[in-house]
């Protein structure tokens, strides 16, 4: 008997083809190493301090977990991770709390706000429990309260926000019944012929996207910069599948007009005078800096909110005009790094010269926040650092230069290999900022620390060295 789990139910209502692939070809399309999984687990664990209940042993065999959950329902005993099965539909409930002659069903989310998919999630659970004759008084979505600022020990009441979605969940029951009937029979059908569309990204980017989108090639309409997904699909469904099919008059944005022209003419774009002016403002010694941060759902230190950026690492490549030297720092895991990291950063950073960053808004916010966090850092020193910053993304965002291989993107990870094809993040252990949280956590494990530290240092240093290589490439293009 194939069960329809909660996760498969949500996958199926997003796209039936995705669920079919999950059932029939899981190894090819559903390699899920999402670092957000651990964050969700951490939030669920924290919520156990918020509610009075007992955990159902997750190590019990499947049928025994069902039996224990039923027994605790009969005993009116509140539980975490209760397991329930009805008509091939299976769910585990984050929390069930007995109150006023019935049960409160609580679904815990690591997000910072209520989302429609959360109600779909809770409605499926309600469907199962209701048909098992378990009286549900209220259904709540419990998510993080990003207004909460930690002061002292964690306040688990203020850390979370509860939304009563009972009426919404009840209203959805006819839809849930219809969906479950259709999805349970899906495994016996041929693969659904479902075209790509906005559903590939909503509510989450589908794990089957690499398979379904394989016919989409370079230069497609989906690479069009500064265009909403809705408008991209409108073009696509009307037969405009590639940027070269467009007319420059169809777009208003200057960046878009350049991108369309470059694709049509198979040429790159350069505004020599503007780029030359940008380069000439940079003075030696040149310091290329990059901070890496973790964003943790449960604030670990004073004056932090859920998902605040916590700087844990920096890299500085310093070019004095004759040679390049490198400075870096990675904070030990488990201690508040904020004071130490900024003190060391200020010591390592040259007192004069240009400071090159990529995405200045992000780097300035990280450095400015040290004043808001009441760190003993001189405000004048911070102001001097901020005033010397030059954003290397600027010539690509304007654009003063556009390369077709940027594919409409101006991030460092797109610009660097577009300018220097031999440089890529694909060979690194960490390929994007999304892997920083999980890798940093491994530095606290003695068995994994060395590998994790090496990976973090390599990733951060690649960013700052990459900025140096980009600037040198721009100078060569201008014959400087």
How many helices (H) and strands (E) in the chain?
A: 20, 14
One DSSP character per residue, 97-126 reads EEETTEEEEEEE-SSSS--HHHHHHHHHHH
Is residue 254 a part of any domain in this protein? no
Q: How far apart are CA 102 and CA 48, in angstroms?
A: 20
End position of a domain, from candidates 130, 164, 188: 188
Quick check: helix, strand or coil at residue 240? coil
- pLDDT average per 10 residues of sequence, the chain (480 residues): 90 95 79 61 94 96 98 98 98 97 97 97 98 98 97 96 98 98 90 92 92 93 95 94 88 92 95 97 98 96 94 97 97 94 95 97 90 79 95 97 97 96 89 90 95 96 97 94
Is residue 148 a part of any domain in this protein? yes
State whether 349 and 447 are in the same domain.
yes
Who contacts 304 (Cβ-Cβ below 8 Å, separation ≥6)? 149, 150, 310
Is residue 234 a part of any domain in this protein? no
The tokens for 178 are 């219809």
State whether 8 and 120 are in the same domain.
yes
Q: How far apart are CA 194 and CA 425, in angstroms?
A: 33
State whether 49 and 152 are in the same domain.
yes
State whether 181 and 299 are in the same domain.
no
State whether 273 and 150 are in the same domain.
no
Q: How far apart are CA 241 and CA 220, in angstroms?
A: 6
Q: How far apart are CA 48 and CA 194, in angstroms?
A: 41
Helix 272-280 to helix 449-477 angle, to the nearest 10 degrees? 120
End position of a domain, from candidates 151, 169, 188: 188
End position of a domain, from candidates 188, 221, 249: 188
Who contacts 190 (Cβ-Cβ below 8 Å, separation ≥6)? none
Structural domain harbouring 163: 4-188
State whether 274 and 154 are in the same domain.
no
pLDDT of residue 37: 57
Is residue 24 a part of any domain in this protein? yes
Who contacts 15 (Cβ-Cβ below 8 Å, separation ≥6)? 194, 199, 200, 206, 208
Is residue 479 a part of any domain in this protein? yes
State whether 12 and 158 are in the same domain.
yes
State whether 170 and 293 are in the same domain.
no
323-335 exposure pattern, b = at least 16 Cβ within 10 A, e = fewer: eeeebbbbbebee
State whether 45 and 144 are in the same domain.
yes
- The dihedrals phi and psi of 364, each to the nearest 5 degrees, come to -65, -40
The domain that holds 132 is classified in CATH as 3.90.320
State whether 440 and 325 are in the same domain.
yes
Is residue 466 a part of any domain in this protein? yes
Segment (H or E) for 443: none
Total tally of structural domains belonging to the chain: 2
The domain that holds 372 is classified in CATH as 3.30.420
CB 43 within 8 A of CB 297: yes
State whether 292 and 171 are in the same domain.
no
pLDDT of residue 285: 98
Is residue 250 a part of any domain in this protein? no
pLDDT of residue 38: 67
The tokens for 113 are 């706000």
State whether 166 and 307 are in the same domain.
no
Who contacts 302 (Cβ-Cβ below 8 Å, separation ≥6)? 150, 151, 152, 336
Is residue 209 a part of any domain in this protein? no
């Amino acid at each position: 008997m194939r069960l329809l789990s909660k996760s498969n139910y949500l996958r199926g209502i997003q796209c039936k083809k995705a669920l079919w692939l999950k059932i029939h070809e899981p190894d090819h399309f559903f390699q899920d190493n999402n670092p957000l999984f651990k964050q969700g687990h951490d939030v669920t664990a924290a919520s156990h301090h918020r509610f009075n209940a007992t955990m159902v042993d997750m190590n019990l065999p499947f049928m025994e977990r069902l039996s224990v959950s039923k027994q605790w329902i009969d005993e009116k005993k509140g539980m975490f991770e209760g397991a329930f099965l009805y008509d091939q539909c299976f769910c585990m409930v984050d929390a069930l709390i007995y109150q006023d002659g019935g049960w409160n069903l609580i679904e815990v989310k690591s997000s910072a706000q209520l989302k429609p998919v959360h109600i779909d999630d809770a409605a499926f659970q309600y469907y199962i429990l209701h048909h098992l004759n378990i009286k549900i008084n209220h259904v709540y979505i419990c998510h993080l309260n990003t207004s909460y600022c930690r002061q002292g020990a964690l306040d688990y009441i203020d850390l979370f926000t509860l939304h009563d979605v009972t009426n919404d969940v009840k209203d959805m029951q006819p839809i849930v019944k219809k969906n479950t009937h259709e999805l349970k029979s899906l495994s016996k059908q041929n693969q659904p012929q479902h075209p790509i569309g906005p559903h590939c990204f909503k509510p989450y980017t589908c794990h089957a996207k690499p398979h379904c989108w394989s016919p989409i090639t370079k230069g497609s309409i989906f690479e069009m910069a500064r265009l909403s997904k809705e408008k991209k699909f409108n073009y696509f469904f009307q037969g405009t599948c590639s940027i070269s099919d467009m007319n420059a008059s169809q777009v208003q944005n200057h960046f878009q007009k350049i991108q369309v022209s470059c694709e049509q003419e198979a040429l790159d774009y350069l505004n020599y005078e503007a780029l030359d002016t940008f380069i000439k403002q940079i003075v030696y010694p040149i310091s290329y800096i990059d901070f890496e941060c973790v964003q943790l759902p449960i604030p670990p230190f004073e004056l932090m909110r859920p998902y605040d950026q916590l700087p844990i690492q920096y890299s500085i490549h310093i070019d004095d005009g004759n040679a390049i030297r490198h400075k870096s720092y990675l904070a030990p895991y488990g201690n508040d790094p904020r004071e130490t990291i900024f003190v060391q950063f200020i010591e390592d950073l040259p007192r004069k010269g240009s400071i090159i960053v990529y995405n200045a808004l992000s780097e300035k916010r990280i450095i400015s926040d040290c004043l808001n966090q009441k760190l003993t850092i001189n405000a004048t020193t911070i102001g001097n650092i901020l005033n010397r910053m030059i954003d290397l993304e600027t010539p690509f965002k304007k654009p003063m230069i556009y390369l077709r291989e940027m594919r409409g993107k101006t991030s460092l990870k797109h610009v660097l290999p577009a300018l220097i094809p031999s440089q890529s993040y694909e060979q690194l252990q960490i390929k994007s900022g999304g892997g920083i949280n999980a890798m940093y956590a491994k530095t606290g494990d003695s068995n994994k620390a060395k590998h994790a530290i090496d990976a973090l240092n390599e990733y951060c240093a690649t960013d700052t060295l990459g900025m140096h290589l980009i600037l040198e490439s721009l100078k060569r293009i201008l014959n400087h």
